[in-house]
Amino acid sequence: MDLTGRTALVTGANRGIGRALTEALAARPLARVLAGVRDPDRFDPLVPPPGGAAEVRAVALDLSTRASIDAGAADLAGVDLLVNNAGQFVGGLLEEQDTEAVYSMLQVNLVAVMHLTQRLLPGMIARRRGLVVNNTSIVGYAHMPAVTTYAASKAGVVAFSEALRRELRETGVEVMHVVTPGVKTNMLEETDEQYGRYADTSSWDRIEPREWAEKIVGAIESGDHILGPGGKTALAKLASRGPAAVLDAAAARMFSRQPR
């Protein structure tokens, strides 16, 4: 996608990958980069470098309910690039997971992705241009224990992305999903705390948010429809396409129902 003069929206733009993506896009010659956050007053202002975006602006976008998504989307006309980045994590044994937290996670990770895309898609189709980028996870492919509900949410995003990509053929609108590895964010710390009680996470790839954001923007500019995780994590994605026994053996090695 040629980003020149386009309008991009990044959800979950206040920190982590979302903030890094907003900064990376701000360095490109877009017309506008909209930083979707729950509270715009708490967004640290971002000044684009010379030759970068003409405007970077925080916009109110609460993904927690149907009504709040509709309210936020009403003020988002003209978005050419939608990056559904916002997410939550819940891990641990299924019977120990907080049910309210699971519902909240499914709302943000999956339902909001579909809902916000549905609201912004008609404008893209009318203009015959646009790109939807959805942030998934390696566990959306390699379904491991102690992340049952999180894996389900991300597998749903993979399915949604690929089904929608095929549905939009010949409309001028494309869909890409990114298979996120371990990125050094607050969410990875939560993952280490919750998932790490039952599995060894010491060998995971861990990259900086800025590095991953640059890879995502590069894939956007290249017109890719899937951005793989790279590194050792790529082996898990590959294994997910093979016999289930491969991932079964890996899970048996790393996971125990007894807390570490």
> Is there a contact between 64 and 109 (Cβ–Cβ < 8 Å)?
no
Full strand arrangement of the beta sheet holding 130-137: 56-60, 32-37, 7-11, 81-84, 130-137, 173-180, 226-227
DSSP secondary structure code for residue 41 in this structure: G
Closest residue by Cα to residue 83 from 166, 188, 157, 168: 157
**141 carries an active-site annotation:** no
DSSP secondary structure code for residue 137 in this structure: E
Beta bridge partners of 81: 8, 131
Residue of 103, 141, 150, 198 marked catalytic: 150
Active site residues: 150
